[in-house]
Structure 1
């Protein structure tokens, strides 16, 4: 079954030697080879302002880069969100992107209780980090992943959401070639 996949590369640095970019490329290549439709959203190349008030979030029109990203997300069956762990959380640019994307009427409907508007989509969150992944998951509780799942994706109705944590990326213990192969396999499965 062909899937429509939106890959959100959340690394703020446009330097293509960053491992996140290579992982996103490997996932996209695997997905495209399997016949899936792939849209890429590379945050390092997007130009958009920070939201500074609730009025901007609720009443402002999304900038063109955000409107284009919303169209790609809207067309997708599956989202792949990749980011490096920075200070224990998502990079600020990725958080600013989600604030822009999750405007009322697109991801979340307004009312007494928020209404999820992106139901029917699944997601995979892929996070790289310098520490061992098991340590981040079990000692820190993978809190940035949990926050992203609960406070953004679940609120918008995206489920199920799976995660892949890749630790020790700056050490010899990280088999980058193996991880690139795994990303290609996930891409071909559309998972």
Structure 2
């Protein structure tokens, strides 16, 4: 039985076509070929403000440009985030997007005196596809700590899915042809699987 998959393309550059775009394309191709229903969110095509206060996050309105994206997250059974590693973390645009859509009343709701008592994304699974401009084993050394290997990797329910970082090889400042081809085949195969067994839960 096919799953509902949302691919969030988090590369901020609106014009150039980067490796993240190619990886997302292959993931989508693999998922659709296997019978899954796929939607995409292209962050570079969205125009939205950054949150600047707790009050805005708690009581402000979701920007109109993000309403459809939030609805797509609610629709999805499996979420895929594709982004480059910039300065040891996800790009600011992606972080700003997640802050906007993961508002109280959507990502969580108060229950029994606990403001985070009810999890709005309970039951969904997620995968991170992260590119980096250095060999994967060098990341924790250069960024002073294994917690920086992949954003989100220290979350106990995401760590196992982020631990598979591997070096694709480099040639002339770009991923080697052989390594990139293997990565694209791997991502396409992962897309065909339609998600992970582990899910967000209480």
Using the size of structure 1 for normalisation, the TM-score is: 0.85
My pick for the range that moved more, 24-33 or 109-118, is 109-118
Partner of 2:185: 181
Partner of 2:78: 78
Deviation at 1:146, TM superposition (A): 4.9
Asked if the contact 2:152/2:159 (under 8 Å) is kept, the reply is: no
Using the size of structure 2 for normalisation, the TM-score is: 0.81
- Alpha-carbon distance in 1 for matches of 2:51, 2:88: 22
Counterpart mapping for 1:37-56 below 5 A = 37-56=37-56
Question: What number of residue pairs does the alignment pair up?
Answer: 185
- Alpha-carbon distance in 2 for matches of 1:5, 1:183: 14
Q: How big is the alpha-carbon RMSD for the aligned residues of Structure 1 and Structure 2?
A: 2.4
Counterpart mapping for 1:11-50 below 5 A = 11-50=11-50
Gap change, CA 1:127 and 1:172, over 3 Å in 2: closer
Q: Secondary structure at the match of 1:35?
A: coil
Asked if the contact 1:136/1:142 (under 8 Å) is kept, the reply is: no
Asked if the contact 2:10/2:82 (under 8 Å) is kept, the reply is: yes
Deviation at 1:48, TM superposition (A): 0.7
Unaligned runs of 5+ in 2: 196-202
Partner of 1:119: 122
Partner of 1:63: 63
Unaligned runs of 5+ in 1: none
